[in-house]
């Protein structure tokens, strides 16, 4: 049995009762850990809580979590620089202010907004401000993806649907999300 959590806190609380029951039975070996896709070959930070319960009578060898991989650069997951038109940018004054704050953060960190791939999530809830990451984006939710994803400073545009899919590990042409239309 493998349980993957979207909300680590919620599932951890709900599953602690089930884990306690499995432990009391003594028939299962239990493992849990938070894994982030950023550490496993994708330029997207998407931490998830994984629970693994293995029946002790079925164990052939000791369970091991996958080892983290070297972090990947975002550039190979992006469309070629000259091939993609500008995506949906910030439309409101709040979003424009978040982008300005994000650019200030990059400059304070010594980054180059035009030569390096920085990702600005300016569509997060108002209380969260702007999230800035170099060579990786934050968790790509359906809502953010439908709105165009984060701003890529080096490309001066938001992400395309194909890029959003690649950042989640899908091959080109693999899947068209339900509810998100190509613009």
Alpha helices in the chain (DSSP H): 8-25, 93-108, 142-147, 161-166
Q: Is the pLDDT of residue 65 over 90?
A: yes
The whole-number pLDDT of residue 183 equals 43
Give this prediction's pTM: 0.77
Q: CB neighbours (10 Å) of residue 25?
A: 9
The per-residue pLDDT for range 100-129, each reduced to its tens digit, is 999 999 999 999 999 999 999 888 766 778
Between CA 42 and CA 29 the distance in angstroms is: 29
Q: Are the CB atoms for 119 and 137 separated by under 8 Å? A: yes
Predicted confidence band of residue 3 (pLDDT cuts 50, 70, 90): low
Q: Is the pLDDT of residue 181 over 60?
A: no
For the CA atoms of 75, 76, 79, 83, what is the dihedral angle to 10 degrees? 80
Give mean pLDDT, residues 61-69: 93
The whole-number pLDDT of residue 132 equals 93
Q: Is the pLDDT of residue 26 over 90?
A: no
The whole-number pLDDT of residue 94 equals 87
More confident residue, 107 or 168: 107
Task: Output Rg (C-alpha) for the chain, integer angstroms.
Answer: 20
With CA atoms as reference, report the closest residue to 180 among 149, 136, 139, 152.
149
- Sequence-distant (6+) residues with CB within 8 A of 133 are 45, 118, 119
The whole-number pLDDT of residue 175 equals 58
* Helix, strand counts (H, E) of the chain: 4, 7
The whole-number pLDDT of residue 144 equals 73
Burial class (CB in 10 A: 0-12, 13-18, 19+), 120: buried
Cα 157 → chain centroid? 19
Cα 7 → chain centroid? 13
């Amino acid at each position: 049995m493998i349980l993957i959590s979207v909300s680590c806190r919620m599932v951890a609380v709900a599953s602690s009762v089930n884990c306690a029951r499995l432990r009391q039975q003594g028939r299962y070996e239990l493992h849990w850990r938070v894994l982030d896709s950023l550490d496993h070959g994708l330029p997207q930070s998407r931490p998830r809580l994984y629970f693994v319960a293995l029946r002790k009578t079925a164990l052939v060898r000791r369970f091991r979590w996958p080892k983290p991989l070297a972090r990947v650069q975002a550039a190979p997951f992006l469309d070629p620089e000259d091939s993609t038109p500008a995506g949906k940018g910030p439309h409101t004054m709040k979003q424009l202010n978040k982008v300005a704050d994000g650019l200030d953060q990059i400059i304070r960190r010594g980054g180059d907004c035009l030569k390096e791939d920085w990702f600005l999530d300016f569509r997060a809830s108002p209380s969260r401000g702007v999230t800035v990451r170099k060579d990786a984006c934050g968790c790509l939710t359906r809502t953010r993806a439908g709105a165009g994803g984060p701003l890529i400073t080096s490309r001066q545009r938001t992400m395309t649907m194909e890029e959003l899919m690649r950042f989640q590990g899908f091959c080109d042409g693999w899947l068209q999300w339900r509810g998100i239309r190509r613009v």
